Amino acid sequence: MPEVTVRKGEPIDRALKRLKSKLDSEGILDEVRRLRAFETPTQKARRKAKNNAKRAKLKIRFNLNLP
């Protein structure tokens, strides 16, 4: 579970923004939204294909095959 410590003199709004960005980067909010309602098999397959395509794209992008 991500945590955010409020720094001395930091506004609460900024700390909430940091927490929200951490939750977003880890995909927690997307998972909560996904689990909130029933997901049809078609939607599940589409979501998995999209995640696999994104993962493959990142793998190609960061794969440094230097001779």
Whether 20 is covered by a domain: the verdict is: yes
CA 25, 54, 52, 64 torsion-angle sign = negative
pTM over 0.85: no
**Using an 8 Å Cβ cutoff, are 15 and 4 in contact?**
yes
Tell me how many domains the chain contains: 1
User: In this structure, what are the phi and psi dihedrals at residue 2, rounded to the nearest 5 degrees?
Assistant: -70, 145
> What is the total residue count of the chain?
67
The pLDDT, as a whole number, for residue 59 is: 87
Residue range of the domain that includes 19: 12-62
Report which secondary-structure segment, H or E, holds 10. none
Whether 24 is covered by a domain: the verdict is: yes
Residue 66 reports pLDDT greater than 80: no
pLDDT in tens, 8-48: 999 999 999 999 999 999 989 888 988 999 999 999 999 99
Whether 57 is covered by a domain: the verdict is: yes
Whether 25 is covered by a domain: the verdict is: yes
Whether 67 is covered by a domain: the verdict is: no
